[in-house]
Amino acid sequence: MKLSVIGAGSWGTAIVSILSKKNHVNWWVRRERLKNQILLKKRNTKYLTNCKLNTKNITFYNDIDEIILSSDLVIVAIPSEFIYSVFKNKGDLLSNKTILSAVKGVIPEKNSTPHDFFKSISPNLNYGVISGPCHAEEVALEKQSYLTVSTTNTDIHPHIKKIFNTKYIHTKTSNDIVGTEYAAILKNIYAILIGVASGLGYGDNFIAVLTTSCANEMKRLLQLLDPKERTISQPAYLGDLLVTCYSLHSRNRSLGVLIGKGYSVENAIEKMTMVAEGHPAAKSIYARVKKMKQIKQTPIISSTYNILFKEKDPKTQLKKLEKLIS
Protein backbone atom coordinates (compact mmCIF):
# COMPACT_ATOMS: atom_id res chain seq x y z
CA MET A 1 0.00 0.00 0.00
CA LYS A 2 1.47 3.35 -1.09
CA LEU A 3 1.29 5.95 1.69
CA SER A 4 1.12 9.72 1.47
CA VAL A 5 0.90 12.54 4.00
CA ILE A 6 -0.65 15.89 3.08
CA GLY A 7 0.71 18.66 5.27
CA ALA A 8 4.09 19.78 6.55
CA GLY A 9 3.11 21.41 9.82
CA SER A 10 3.83 19.94 13.26
CA TRP A 11 1.36 17.08 13.09
CA GLY A 12 2.10 16.23 9.46
CA THR A 13 5.82 16.17 10.26
CA ALA A 14 5.23 13.96 13.30
CA ILE A 15 3.20 11.48 11.23
CA VAL A 16 5.90 11.36 8.55
CA SER A 17 8.52 10.75 11.23
CA ILE A 18 6.51 7.76 12.52
CA LEU A 19 5.75 6.21 9.14
CA SER A 20 9.15 6.74 7.52
CA LYS A 21 10.95 4.69 10.16
CA LYS A 22 9.90 1.47 8.41
CA ASN A 23 7.76 2.51 5.41
CA HIS A 24 8.25 4.55 2.26
CA VAL A 25 6.15 7.74 2.43
CA ASN A 26 5.08 10.31 -0.17
CA TRP A 27 5.00 13.76 1.44
CA TRP A 28 3.23 16.85 0.10
CA VAL A 29 5.41 19.81 1.05
CA ARG A 30 4.00 22.79 -0.80
CA ARG A 31 6.97 25.15 -0.46
CA GLU A 32 10.05 24.22 -2.48
CA ARG A 33 12.34 26.10 -0.08
CA LEU A 34 11.08 24.11 2.91
CA LYS A 35 11.49 20.84 1.03
CA ASN A 36 15.11 21.69 0.22
CA GLN A 37 15.79 22.61 3.84
CA ILE A 38 14.32 19.30 5.03
CA LEU A 39 16.51 17.39 2.62
CA LEU A 40 19.59 19.30 3.75
CA LYS A 41 18.97 19.29 7.50
CA LYS A 42 17.05 15.96 7.78
CA ARG A 43 14.40 17.80 9.79
CA ASN A 44 11.61 20.31 9.28
CA THR A 45 13.29 23.66 9.89
CA LYS A 46 9.99 25.48 10.42
CA TYR A 47 7.95 23.08 12.55
CA LEU A 48 9.07 20.43 15.02
CA THR A 49 12.74 21.24 14.51
CA ASN A 50 13.96 18.60 16.97
CA CYS A 51 12.33 15.76 15.00
CA LYS A 52 14.89 13.90 12.88
CA LEU A 53 13.51 12.55 9.59
CA ASN A 54 14.54 9.51 7.60
CA THR A 55 14.57 11.28 4.23
CA LYS A 56 15.78 8.11 2.46
CA ASN A 57 12.24 6.78 2.90
CA ILE A 58 10.50 9.98 1.77
CA THR A 59 9.52 11.14 -1.73
CA PHE A 60 8.57 14.81 -1.85
CA TYR A 61 5.74 16.27 -3.94
CA ASN A 62 4.43 19.80 -4.35
CA ASP A 63 1.66 18.84 -6.80
CA ILE A 64 -1.44 17.70 -4.91
CA ASP A 65 -2.93 15.86 -7.91
CA GLU A 66 0.27 13.93 -8.52
CA ILE A 67 0.64 12.75 -4.93
CA ILE A 68 -2.99 11.61 -4.70
CA LEU A 69 -2.63 9.62 -7.94
CA SER A 70 0.58 8.05 -6.62
CA SER A 71 -0.98 6.83 -3.36
CA ASP A 72 -3.47 4.28 -2.05
CA LEU A 73 -3.76 5.67 1.48
CA VAL A 74 -3.79 9.45 1.90
CA ILE A 75 -3.29 10.91 5.39
CA VAL A 76 -4.57 14.48 5.64
CA ALA A 77 -2.80 16.59 8.26
CA ILE A 78 -3.42 20.23 7.37
CA PRO A 79 -5.48 22.71 9.42
CA SER A 80 -9.21 22.43 8.81
CA GLU A 81 -9.39 25.99 7.47
CA PHE A 82 -7.34 24.93 4.41
CA ILE A 83 -9.14 21.65 3.63
CA TYR A 84 -11.73 23.17 1.32
CA SER A 85 -9.28 25.14 -0.83
CA VAL A 86 -6.93 22.16 -1.22
CA PHE A 87 -9.49 19.41 -1.88
CA LYS A 88 -12.67 21.06 -3.26
CA ASN A 89 -11.96 19.94 -6.84
CA LYS A 90 -10.28 16.61 -6.03
CA GLY A 91 -13.35 14.39 -5.65
CA ASP A 92 -12.65 12.30 -8.76
CA LEU A 93 -9.00 11.80 -7.78
CA LEU A 94 -10.00 10.60 -4.32
CA SER A 95 -12.55 8.07 -5.54
CA ASN A 96 -11.79 4.59 -4.14
CA LYS A 97 -8.78 5.91 -2.21
CA THR A 98 -8.49 5.48 1.56
CA ILE A 99 -8.41 8.82 3.39
CA LEU A 100 -7.28 9.03 7.00
CA SER A 101 -8.02 12.44 8.48
CA ALA A 102 -5.74 13.75 11.20
CA VAL A 103 -7.72 17.02 11.11
CA LYS A 104 -9.22 18.15 14.42
CA GLY A 105 -11.52 20.94 13.37
CA VAL A 106 -14.49 21.88 11.18
CA ILE A 107 -14.49 22.96 7.54
CA PRO A 108 -15.51 26.65 7.82
CA GLU A 109 -16.80 27.06 4.25
CA LYS A 110 -19.19 24.13 4.67
CA ASN A 111 -19.73 24.24 8.43
CA SER A 112 -19.13 20.50 8.37
CA THR A 113 -16.87 17.83 9.79
CA PRO A 114 -14.03 16.53 7.59
CA HIS A 115 -15.97 13.26 7.23
CA ASP A 116 -19.04 14.99 5.82
CA PHE A 117 -16.95 17.17 3.52
CA PHE A 118 -14.86 14.38 2.02
CA LYS A 119 -17.88 12.13 1.57
CA SER A 120 -19.74 14.97 -0.16
CA ILE A 121 -17.03 15.44 -2.80
CA SER A 122 -16.17 11.75 -3.22
CA PRO A 123 -18.84 9.29 -1.99
CA ASN A 124 -16.79 6.23 -2.98
CA LEU A 125 -13.70 6.97 -0.92
CA ASN A 126 -12.91 4.95 2.20
CA TYR A 127 -12.73 7.31 5.16
CA GLY A 128 -11.08 7.06 8.54
CA VAL A 129 -9.93 9.24 11.44
CA ILE A 130 -6.63 9.42 13.32
CA SER A 131 -7.08 10.64 16.89
CA GLY A 132 -5.93 10.13 20.46
CA PRO A 133 -3.55 11.75 22.98
CA CYS A 134 -0.55 12.20 20.72
CA HIS A 135 1.06 15.64 20.79
CA ALA A 136 3.45 16.16 17.90
CA GLU A 137 6.09 17.60 20.23
CA GLU A 138 6.21 14.37 22.25
CA VAL A 139 6.23 12.19 19.14
CA ALA A 140 9.30 14.14 18.04
CA LEU A 141 11.00 13.18 21.30
CA GLU A 142 9.86 9.55 20.88
CA LYS A 143 7.86 9.62 24.10
CA GLN A 144 5.17 6.98 24.62
CA SER A 145 2.12 8.04 22.59
CA TYR A 146 -1.24 6.50 21.73
CA LEU A 147 -3.21 6.66 18.49
CA THR A 148 -6.69 5.47 17.64
CA VAL A 149 -7.48 4.95 13.96
CA SER A 150 -11.22 4.71 13.30
CA THR A 151 -12.55 3.29 10.04
CA THR A 152 -15.43 1.04 9.08
CA ASN A 153 -13.15 -0.80 6.65
CA THR A 154 -12.02 -3.41 9.17
CA ASP A 155 -10.00 -5.23 6.52
CA ILE A 156 -7.27 -2.59 6.77
CA HIS A 157 -7.11 -2.50 10.59
CA PRO A 158 -4.18 -4.95 10.84
CA HIS A 159 -2.27 -3.04 8.17
CA ILE A 160 -2.91 0.27 9.92
CA LYS A 161 -1.45 -1.09 13.14
CA LYS A 162 1.54 -2.47 11.28
CA ILE A 163 2.49 0.79 9.57
CA PHE A 164 1.99 3.01 12.64
CA ASN A 165 3.24 0.91 15.55
CA THR A 166 6.76 1.58 16.79
CA LYS A 167 8.47 1.16 20.14
CA TYR A 168 6.85 4.43 21.25
CA ILE A 169 3.62 4.59 19.19
CA HIS A 170 0.78 2.30 20.25
CA THR A 171 -2.16 2.06 17.85
CA LYS A 172 -5.73 0.95 18.49
CA THR A 173 -8.42 0.58 15.85
CA SER A 174 -12.10 1.44 16.08
CA ASN A 175 -15.15 1.73 13.84
CA ASP A 176 -16.54 4.83 15.61
CA ILE A 177 -15.67 7.34 12.89
CA VAL A 178 -18.26 9.96 13.82
CA GLY A 179 -17.67 9.74 17.57
CA THR A 180 -13.89 9.97 17.45
CA GLU A 181 -13.96 12.79 14.91
CA TYR A 182 -16.42 14.84 16.94
CA ALA A 183 -14.46 14.12 20.13
CA ALA A 184 -11.31 15.46 18.45
CA ILE A 185 -13.21 18.64 17.54
CA LEU A 186 -14.93 19.08 20.91
CA LYS A 187 -11.81 18.66 23.04
CA ASN A 188 -10.27 21.72 21.34
CA ILE A 189 -13.29 23.83 22.28
CA TYR A 190 -13.17 22.62 25.88
CA ALA A 191 -9.41 23.23 26.07
CA ILE A 192 -9.96 26.90 25.22
CA LEU A 193 -12.29 27.31 28.20
CA ILE A 194 -9.90 25.41 30.48
CA GLY A 195 -7.21 27.84 29.34
CA VAL A 196 -9.48 30.80 30.08
CA ALA A 197 -10.04 29.46 33.61
CA SER A 198 -6.31 29.04 34.09
CA GLY A 199 -5.62 32.54 32.78
CA LEU A 200 -8.19 33.94 35.20
CA GLY A 201 -6.36 32.32 38.10
CA TYR A 202 -8.64 29.39 38.91
CA GLY A 203 -6.89 26.60 40.78
CA ASP A 204 -6.36 22.92 40.06
CA ASN A 205 -9.42 21.85 42.05
CA PHE A 206 -11.87 23.86 39.96
CA ILE A 207 -10.13 22.99 36.70
CA ALA A 208 -10.31 19.27 37.55
CA VAL A 209 -14.06 19.50 38.13
CA LEU A 210 -14.54 21.64 35.01
CA THR A 211 -12.62 19.09 32.92
CA THR A 212 -14.78 16.29 34.36
CA SER A 213 -17.85 18.30 33.37
CA CYS A 214 -16.40 18.71 29.86
CA ALA A 215 -16.09 14.92 29.60
CA ASN A 216 -19.69 14.45 30.73
CA GLU A 217 -20.92 17.08 28.29
CA MET A 218 -18.91 15.44 25.49
CA LYS A 219 -20.56 12.11 26.28
CA ARG A 220 -24.05 13.67 26.14
CA LEU A 221 -23.33 15.52 22.92
CA LEU A 222 -21.84 12.49 21.15
CA GLN A 223 -25.00 10.55 21.96
CA LEU A 224 -27.12 13.35 20.51
CA LEU A 225 -25.00 13.57 17.35
CA ASP A 226 -24.47 9.85 16.77
CA PRO A 227 -26.33 7.56 19.19
CA LYS A 228 -24.37 4.37 19.82
CA GLU A 229 -22.65 2.56 22.64
CA ARG A 230 -19.16 3.92 23.27
CA THR A 231 -16.84 4.00 26.28
CA ILE A 232 -15.97 7.63 26.87
CA SER A 233 -12.99 6.69 29.07
CA GLN A 234 -11.07 5.37 26.03
CA PRO A 235 -7.97 7.30 24.84
CA ALA A 236 -9.68 8.70 21.72
CA TYR A 237 -12.24 10.48 23.90
CA LEU A 238 -11.15 11.16 27.49
CA GLY A 239 -7.43 10.70 26.86
CA ASP A 240 -7.34 13.25 24.06
CA LEU A 241 -9.51 15.64 26.08
CA LEU A 242 -7.22 15.48 29.10
CA VAL A 243 -3.96 16.03 27.24
CA THR A 244 -5.43 18.93 25.25
CA CYS A 245 -6.83 20.60 28.37
CA TYR A 246 -3.74 20.16 30.55
CA SER A 247 -0.68 20.12 28.29
CA LEU A 248 1.46 23.20 27.80
CA HIS A 249 1.84 22.02 24.17
CA SER A 250 -1.90 22.62 23.62
CA ARG A 251 -2.42 25.58 21.31
CA ASN A 252 -6.14 25.74 22.16
CA ARG A 253 -5.43 25.89 25.88
CA SER A 254 -2.79 28.55 25.15
CA LEU A 255 -5.35 30.66 23.30
CA GLY A 256 -7.69 30.43 26.27
CA VAL A 257 -4.95 31.40 28.73
CA LEU A 258 -4.29 34.59 26.75
CA ILE A 259 -8.00 35.46 26.79
CA GLY A 260 -8.20 34.76 30.52
CA LYS A 261 -5.26 37.09 31.10
CA GLY A 262 -7.11 39.94 29.43
CA TYR A 263 -6.27 39.78 25.73
CA SER A 264 -9.16 40.33 23.36
CA VAL A 265 -10.04 37.27 21.29
CA GLU A 266 -8.71 38.98 18.17
CA ASN A 267 -5.41 39.96 19.79
CA ALA A 268 -4.98 36.52 21.35
CA ILE A 269 -5.39 34.84 17.95
CA GLU A 270 -2.87 37.27 16.42
CA LYS A 271 -0.38 36.40 19.15
CA MET A 272 -0.64 32.67 18.40
CA THR A 273 2.01 31.16 16.13
CA MET A 274 -0.19 28.17 15.18
CA VAL A 275 -3.87 27.67 14.37
CA ALA A 276 -6.16 26.98 17.35
CA GLU A 277 -8.91 24.98 15.65
CA GLY A 278 -11.21 25.16 18.67
CA HIS A 279 -12.02 28.79 17.82
CA PRO A 280 -13.98 28.23 14.57
CA ALA A 281 -15.18 24.86 15.90
CA ALA A 282 -16.95 26.56 18.82
CA LYS A 283 -19.07 28.59 16.41
CA SER A 284 -19.89 25.59 14.23
CA ILE A 285 -20.75 23.21 17.07
CA TYR A 286 -22.82 25.84 18.88
CA ALA A 287 -24.85 26.42 15.70
CA ARG A 288 -25.35 22.68 15.27
CA VAL A 289 -26.51 22.19 18.85
CA LYS A 290 -28.82 25.21 18.60
CA LYS A 291 -30.35 23.78 15.43
CA MET A 292 -30.98 20.53 17.32
CA LYS A 293 -32.62 22.57 20.12
CA GLN A 294 -30.27 21.05 22.69
CA ILE A 295 -28.50 24.14 24.02
CA LYS A 296 -29.42 23.27 27.62
CA GLN A 297 -27.39 20.07 27.25
CA THR A 298 -24.16 21.96 26.44
CA PRO A 299 -23.59 24.87 28.87
CA ILE A 300 -19.79 24.64 28.48
CA ILE A 301 -19.95 24.89 24.69
CA SER A 302 -22.33 27.83 25.11
CA SER A 303 -20.02 29.65 27.54
CA THR A 304 -17.03 29.17 25.23
CA TYR A 305 -19.05 30.44 22.27
CA ASN A 306 -20.21 33.47 24.26
CA ILE A 307 -16.63 34.41 25.16
CA LEU A 308 -15.24 33.88 21.66
CA PHE A 309 -18.02 35.32 19.51
CA LYS A 310 -20.36 37.38 21.70
CA GLU A 311 -17.70 39.35 23.59
CA LYS A 312 -19.10 38.14 26.90
CA ASP A 313 -16.95 38.71 29.96
CA PRO A 314 -14.88 35.56 30.69
CA LYS A 315 -15.15 36.07 34.47
CA THR A 316 -18.94 36.21 34.29
CA GLN A 317 -19.15 33.10 32.10
CA LEU A 318 -16.92 31.11 34.47
CA LYS A 319 -18.91 32.32 37.49
CA LYS A 320 -22.06 30.89 35.91
CA LEU A 321 -20.31 27.58 35.35
CA GLU A 322 -19.14 27.45 38.99
CA LYS A 323 -22.74 26.91 40.04
CA LEU A 324 -23.70 24.61 37.17
CA ILE A 325 -20.89 22.11 37.64
CA SER A 326 -20.98 21.95 41.46
Assess contact for 103 and 95: CB atoms under 8 A: no
Half-sphere exposure of 130 (CA within 13 A, CB side): 29
Catalytic residue among 35, 97, 104, 187: 187
How far, in Å, are 16, 39, 65, 301 from residue 48 at the CA level? 12, 15, 26, 31
Q: Read out DSSP for 241-284?
A: HHHHHH-TT-HHHHHHHHHHTT--HHHHHHH-SS--THHHHHHH
Q: State whether residue 26 is helix, strand or coil.
A: strand
How far, in Å, are 147, 275, 278 from residue 306 at the CA level? 32, 20, 13
Residue 187 annotated among the catalytic residues of the structure: yes
* Listed residue (92, 84, 44, 88) closest to 68, CA to CA: 92
Q: State whether residue 27 is helix, strand or coil.
A: strand
d(CA 117, CA 109): 10
* Listed residue (95, 127, 97) closest to 112, CA to CA: 127
d(CA 283, CA 106): 10
Residues noted as catalytic: 187
